[in-house]
Amino acid sequence: MLRGVNSVRNIITRFGVPKSLISDNGLQFDSRAFWEFCENLGIRNRYSTPAYPQSNSQAEATNKAIVSGLKKRLEGAKGRWAEELPSVLWAYRTTPRRSMGETPFSLTYKAEAVIPVEVNLCSARVAGFASDENEKLMVKELNLLEEHRDVATIRLVEYQQKLARRYNRAVRRREFAARDLVLRKVVGNTRETSAGKLAPS
């Protein structure tokens, strides 16, 4: 199972040693060689489980957005993905989500990131920066971080409800009574295995 070890070794070479790794139960991440490799570097090895599907879907959605951003930046030069990854991650972390109206960066630090252009142009935020005053303000803002996240969660729920209402407007309700004939869709677990090719689809 060297494939998992080599994958992690490549990540460490480019980005440093992570504190922990969360992986699915794929065979390349579930071997004695992989466990020993992680243990020697002090990496906590964790596995996602079916008990927490929300974490799996969130990771997949994030990965999908990052891969999409990489594809747009590379335009055929796939070997340069490691050089482009930091700027794609920066863009992902500092772009407001439509569902919450907040950036992942602001949900972590309760402050918006200063983009490189602002530093080069010496904007008002950069010109008025005082490091000791900034420390105090950041600590004060971190005290309000949980409230900030709660507000973002409420916005997210409102957004999801609005989407559900819009979707349900197009749904035609039908009432069925006893003995009405309906067309039943056959899915994998209700298919007759003994009927072979002649089973209803």
DSSP calls for the chain:
-HHHHHHHHHHHHHH---SEEEE-S-GGGSSHHHHHHHHHHT-EEEE--TT-HHHHHHHHHHHHHHHHHHHHHHTT-GGGHHHHHHHHHHHHHHSPPTTTS--HHHHHHSSPPPPHHHHHHT-HHHHT--HHHHHHHHHHHHHTHHHHHHHHHHHHHHHHHHHHHHHHHTPPP----TT---PPPP-GGGS-GGGGGGS--
Q: Which two tokens stand for residue 33?
A: 């060689």
**163-173, pLDDT tens digit by residue?**
899 988 888 88
- Render pLDDT for 12-66 as a digit per residue (tens, 0 to 9): 777 788 888 777 666 667 778 888 888 888 888 877 665 554 555 667 778 888 8
pLDDT of residue 20: 82
Beta bridge partners of 44: 20
Average pLDDT of the residues in 125-131: 76
pLDDT of residue 1: 45
pLDDT higher than 50, residue 88: yes
pLDDT greater at residue 125 or residue 72: 72
Domain positions in the chain are 1-49, 97-168
Contact 130, 110 (CB under 8 A): no
| Phi, psi at 101, each rounded to 5° | 75, 15
Q: Average pLDDT for residues 186-197, to the nearest whole number?
A: 63
